[in-house]
Amino acid sequence: MTKNQYAMQNPVTQYPDLDIPEQRQEEPGLDSKLIPLADHGEKTYRGAERLKGRKALITGADSGIGRAVAIAYAREGADIALSYLPSEQADADEVIALIEAEGCMAVAIPGDISDEAFSKQLVEEAASKLGGIDILVNNAGRQLYVEKLEDLDADQFESTFRTNVFAMFWITKAALKYLPAGASIINTTSIQSYQPSPGLIDYASTKGAITAFTHGLGKQLASRGIRVNAVAPGPIWTPLQPSYGQPMKKLTQFGKNTPVGRAGQPAELAPTYVFLASQESSYITSEVIGVTGGNHLP
């Protein structure tokens, strides 16, 4: 892992080309069980008070990209409500400790966002305990690889949409009554929205929906001073991948087909989420920023 992500260096070698062994975790997977471990900026991200006094709700904040964003936001001065599944408590505890080490508030709200009632409760609890919400990061996602459409059952298709799309809709709708002018909504879409893998039909379809939701809602809310943008990651090393998000033959070669030649680390995503949450991006809305290792968006 890089010692100084701010020093000029070759991005090809900034992080090692991962030597990923065959491995499996039960869904949704834990960061603590990844081989090799991912970098979320725990030792590298340095803040500059760009989000001082802000109040953020982040879904999927225990691991992967959400974990990196939570760490970065805390180091920029934000208090954070973390949403995650109860089975991910061990990972969440580590993130909570890192947030509190920065002197920021960490509100832990475990539960399943694929349930509408919980999604609404999540927003109410976050707003109550944080004293409001002015950053919403819809990041939690479900990804399961199925090679043939004939083997993709309706239960999985619906569950993927409930987690990735319906929850975003429920949470965002509930949060609007709290979001003031100047607030920012940031959704996690994917390169899969534009370049879908054959075995990720349901996942890629949800990411297409998130992209469209972002474009449309950004235009709708612009006059209210609320910005809506999305980040589209490429192959990023997170627990989604070994928890049946990729077939084994692709898992061990994960990210090697990018122009940069390696998988990305969650720490490489966090600055984009900070930028989109901060006032530095005041004239950016309805946009999608790709962080893809060179497999560009249209």
Distance CA 260, CA 264 (A): 9
What are the start-end ranges of the H helices in the chain? 11-14, 64-75, 89-101, 116-130, 154-161, 167-175, 201-221, 248-251, 270-277
Angle, CA 234 vertex, CA 122 and CA 65 arms, to 5°: 35
Instruction: List the catalytic residue out of 84, 145, 194, 203.
Output: 203
Q: Is 45 a catalytic residue?
A: no
Is omega for the bond preceding 36 within 30 degrees of 0, making it cis?
yes
Cis bond upstream, residue 28 (ω within 30): yes
How far apart are the C-alpha atoms of 97 and 197, rounded to whole Å? 37
| DSSP code, position 282 | T
Pairing of strands 184-188, 227-233: parallel
Closest CA to 254 of 270, 230, 232, 233: 233
By CB atoms closer than 10 A (0-12, 13-18, 19+), residue 121 is: middle
Which candidate, 38, 30, 91, 4, places its Cα nearest to that of 254?
A: 38
Assigned token pair, 110: 């475990």
User: What angle is formed at CA 196 by the lines to CA 144 and CA 244, rounded to 5 degrees?
Assistant: 15
The catalytic residues are 203
